[in-house]
Structure 1
Amino acid sequence: MTDRSERGERGEGPRRPVPEGAAGRRPRAARTRPRWAVNCSILFTELPLLERPAAARAAGFDAVEFWWPWPGEPVPSAADVNAFCAAIEEARVRLIGLNFYAGDMPAGERGVLSDPARATEFRESVAVLVRIAERTGVRSFNALYGQRLDGVAAAEQDRVATANLVFAAHAVAALDGTVLIEPLARGMNGAYPLETAADAMAVVRRVRAAGAANAKFLFDAFHLTVNGDDLEKVAREHAADIGHVQIADAPGRGRPGTGEIDFARLFRVLDAIGYDGRVALEYRPDGPTEKEFGWMEEQRA
């Protein structure tokens, strides 16, 4: 996820550094491959949680991201938090993205921040996230909105979600952090109300209007494609609002080349709009994760 604190450094992807311009923007005159990160909540899951950062480093990555590492636990123990941060540090990788607490995702939940009955639960988890950010330097945070609830008016859920997002945005603002809003694929995530770029941007604008300027749009190629958005159109229309990019092919959510997305074209568009953040791999492996990166050879500069 876009981490403004790292933009002046020289990024790495698997096995070769990526050249960048003086201000962290990739040169426009020549095609360059993205600065990769790997999502260790969907890749390397054949390993225990705390072994995944080191596995990512061994595969050649210098940056990782995670969903909330403790499903169903808004406030994990101090020992668990310390162990997670230590695993990042010992692997010598940057944590560049972390999800806010999103309930029990393995059980099907996709966020709690729009649930009036769980506002305290969510806000207590934010303090944990801030502690992780202070220690690891992560500055981008994905906030899953939550599914629609029976018996609670949609307008009330939206009101609560906005209030919780503003609370979260203010909490990370002191760290120069960004809250990311993401649409999710229809039919795979329950009654999740944000399906398109327009849906996500409506929330971003609502949060900004409520006094939190550090809200941005998470551009996920898989979710957007499944729900019918045109990737190039979305990227160009919302260039200034994109805070992070994640990729998986569609259909199937496998590695690039297993579906129908033209990633070479997508990367050219991202170059054209001046996107200079990480591109995170968030796809399901088809076998051992370490064998899932051969497609990246063609992206070498």
Structure 2
Amino acid sequence: MTQWTVNCSILYTGLPLLERPAAAAADGFGAVEFWWPWPVAVPADRDVDAFVRAVEEAGVRLTGLNFFAGDMPGGDRGLVSWPARASELLDNIPVVAAIGERLGCRAFNALYGNRVDGADPKEQDDLAAEMLAACARGVAGTVLLEPVSGAPRYPLLTADDAVAVLDRLGHVPNVGLLADFYHLAVNGDDVPAAIERHAGRIAHVQIADAPGRGAPGTGTLPIRRWIGDVRAAGYDGPIGLEYRAEGSGDFDWLPRADRGGTSA
């Protein structure tokens, strides 16, 4: 049975962040993932403790966590290639690692970052290689690299773009591709071809339908077929539900018995 994990940074947005793991559990899921939960790279210890407690008390597993990515609502998309903010990412790594250790999380998404005015793209890419290697050294798990859509200055649009960066880190063992089928499709990538070409590099999968970034079935993407493709290619990890939905019925497309949590 497919293992699903609910992205609680984009779903359950009508609830306070710390109430969302319990909401996912109440909806029948056994796993959650999060973007970085705080607006700073190094939150207070009490805030980290409260987050860890919320996940533990909900009885769900944390299967994915982002490194600090800057002001996401304001348009930032990561610090990995951002020269002026490299120190913030370096300060963030041990915090991410500690949360991962406490909650058993082994997948960590490092958003690459936008192109920055006044910075040479080559210098940004060289910095990115250094920072990704630092992230990989700092955590017990896999560092994920993700193509994204809707960010005009974000340079990684396709699976090939991300894998080219990973190839620069050939000496680093614990890095992999985050294949978000929504982002790839919206950016015009050939998703089945990307799965076939990069199956061995895919370390996490996320889904949303298009147009609209809604639940599967609200758009036109053949998501079930693509999940079958990536499973047949050898990916056996969780599928992240990273779509936008409001109100009741957010998970009607997925029978409760198939969600992977405990029965209510």
* TM-score bucket (shorter structure): over 0.9
Alignment of 1:194 onto 2:156: yes
Name which of 35, 39, 52 aligns with 1:67: 35
- Is the contact made by 1:103 and 1:109 (CA closer than 8 Å) also made in structure 2? yes
Q: Which runs of 4+ in 1 moved over 6 A?
A: none
1:139-288 correspondence to structure 2 within 5 Å = 139-172=106-139, 175=140, 177-185=141-149, 188-208=150-170, 211-285=171-245, 287-288=246-247
* Partner Cα distance (2:86, 2:123) in 1: 13
**Equivalent of 2:96, from 129, 147, 159?**
129
Amino acid in the other structure paired with 2:57 = E
SS in structure 1 at match of 2:193: helix
Q: What is the CA-CA distance between 1:267 and the residue it aligns to?
A: 2.2
Instruction: Say if 2:27 and 2:256, in contact at 8 Å, map to a contact too.
Output: no
Residue 226 of structure 1, CA deviation: 0.5
Residue aligned with 1:224, SS: helix
Q: In the superposition, relative to structure 1, how do residues 81 and 300 fare at CA in structure 2: closer, same or farther (>3 Å)?
A: closer
Offset at 1:300?
5.1
Which letter does structure 1 place at the counterpart of 2:142? Answer: T
Task: Work out whether 1:38 is the aligned partner of 2:6.
Answer: yes
Does structure 2 retain, via aligned residues, the 8 Å contact 1:102–1:144?
yes
* Number of equivalences: 259
Letter in 1 for 2:17: L
- Secondary structure of the equivalent of 1:41? coil
8 Å CA contact retained: 2:143, 2:175: yes
SS at match of 1:105: coil
Residue 252 of structure 2 is matched in structure 1 by: 294
Q: Distance in 2 between matches of 1:86 and 1:207?
A: 35
Q: CA deviation at 1:230?
A: 1.5
Q: Are 2:72 and 1:105 equivalent residues in the alignment? A: yes
**CA drift at 1:120:** 0.8
User: Structure 1, residues 74-121: CA drift from partner, whole Å, max 9, x if none?
Assistant: 100000000000000000000000001101111111001211111111
Aligned residue type for 1:189: A
* Equivalent pair of 1:197/1:224 in contact (CA under 8 Å): yes
CA contact (8 A) 1:108 1:190 kept: no
Q: TM-score, normalised by structure 2?
A: 0.95
Q: Which runs of 5+ in 2 are unaligned?
A: 260-264
Q: Work out the CA distance in 1 between the residues paired with 2:31 and 2:235.
A: 17
Q: How does 1:22-61 map to 2 (within 5 A)?
A: 34-61=2-29
Distance 1:267 1:101 in 2: 28
Q: Calculate the aligned-residue CA RMSD, in Å.
A: 1.5
TM-score w.r.t. the length of structure 1 is 0.83
- Alpha-carbon distance in structure 1 between the residues aligned to 2:223 and 2:127: 37
Partner secondary structure for residue 4 of structure 2: strand
Q: CA deviation at 1:40?
A: 0.2
Specify every segment of 5 or more residues in structure 1 that has no aligned partner in the other structure, as ranges: 1-17, 19-33
* Amino-acid identity (%): 54
Report the Cα distance in structure 2 between the residues aligned to 1:300 and 1:56, rounded to whole angstroms: 14
